[in-house]
A = this chain, B = another copy of it.
């Protein structure tokens, strides 16, 4: 589980570091955006449920993963940028792991099913949203990319399973699988989130 978590953090961190490189920001920004993207969703969840200090601050491996991803991207960004489509597939794995882990942790801290599923989604997408705010752009999850819905669905499946009394492991796998398959289908088929219709109201 920790290995899956670290892989997710590493891949998220690469996406943050690539944003910094493309914005022509400095090494420090590369590292901060790597860390924010990799760990920010979990930080938001932990601060909201009162699980402070966040787990990632108590385990140096969680801090070294984004630092490593940031340095790797700083030096080899042309290669990583070309591989980004493949990175996106790993990113879907990270999303699947995070949304389930976040929902389960929120349940453990006594939250109800609906807020727990929402916090699973926040764990999955919060890092990328912080990355975009710090990089001065509107979050990509707001612009048609079908990213948040799979995370909400994955967290929701995990929550429903646990509330029904099913054992943790198969429930977690099912939630992650729902998120992963949905996200990959959205990527491959180019599914988009619905847009408001009609002229923008004044």
Contacts and interface: CB of A to CB of B under 8 A. Distances in A.
Interface in A97-142: 109-112, 114-115, 118-119, 129, 133-139, 141-142
A202 interface: yes
Interface string A160-202: 0000000000000000000000000000000011111011111
A198 B76 CA distance: 10
Interface of A: 18, 20-30, 32, 43, 47-50, 52-54, 57-58, 60, 63, 74, 77-82, 84, 109-112, 114-115, 118-119, 129, 133-139, 141-144, 148-149, 192-196, 198-202
Contact of A30 (B29, B43, B119, B196): B196
B47 A201 contact: no
B195 A26 contact: yes
Contacts of A50: 50, 52-53
Q: How many copies does the complex hold?
A: 3
A141 B48 contact: no
A25 B143 contact: yes
Contacts of A25: 138, 142-143
A80 B201 contact: yes
Contact of A82 (B57, B118, B143, B202): B202
A63 B199 CA distance: 28
A41 B193 CA distance: 27
